[in-house]
Amino acid sequence: MSNIKNVPVAEYDAVIEAAGKYVEGLRLGDADVVAQAFHKDAVMYGLSNGTSLLGGPIGNLYDFVRANGAAPDIKTHIDVLAITPTTAVVRIDMEKDAINADYNDYLTFIKLDGRWQAIAKVFHQFGC
């Protein structure tokens, strides 16, 4: 058994920074800033109001941001639930997005070319 720390704190910070780009893009209503957090081939799936399955390519998220604009009152809390040298899972507890909805988002990150990028988003939208 080895006693080696595999993931430095700086990697946690880098994952939180990447997730923060997503949140900041939502706050600004800027799909291009949101896109900085995601891999170009990312997907998203979730339940709208806990009942209707929504999903597909991450471009659907960018379309939502463009259609609904800024979320100046958004409040979030970001937790890194798990991390390895090349993967991470993040939970974002979110209140008051652009349509005044609350969410739990789970973003799965992969580190490619030295950069953390979300490859998948799974979400639950609470009633709004």
Report yes or no: 55 and 45 within 8 Å, Cβ to Cβ.
Answer: yes
Dihedral sign (CA 76, 79, 81, 84): positive
The answer to whether residue 4 is domain-embedded is no
Q: What are phi and psi of 51, to 5 degrees?
A: -130, -40
What rounded mean pLDDT belongs to the chain?
A: 94
* 1 located within any domain: no
- Output the CA torsion 2→17→110→117 (10° steps): -170
CATH of the domain at 101: 3.10.450.50
Does some domain include residue 3? no
Residue 43's pLDDT band, with cuts at 50, 70 and 90, is very high
Sign of the CA dihedral 33, 38, 43, 45? negative
* Average pLDDT of the segment spanning 19-28: 98
pLDDT at 54 over 90: no
- When divided into structural domains, the chain yields a total of 1
Q: What is the pTM of this model?
A: 0.91
How far, rounded to the nearest angstrom, does the alpha carbon of residue 46 sit from its chain's CA centroid? 13
What range defines the domain where residue 27 resides?
9-125
Residues 49-53, mean pLDDT to the nearest whole number = 77
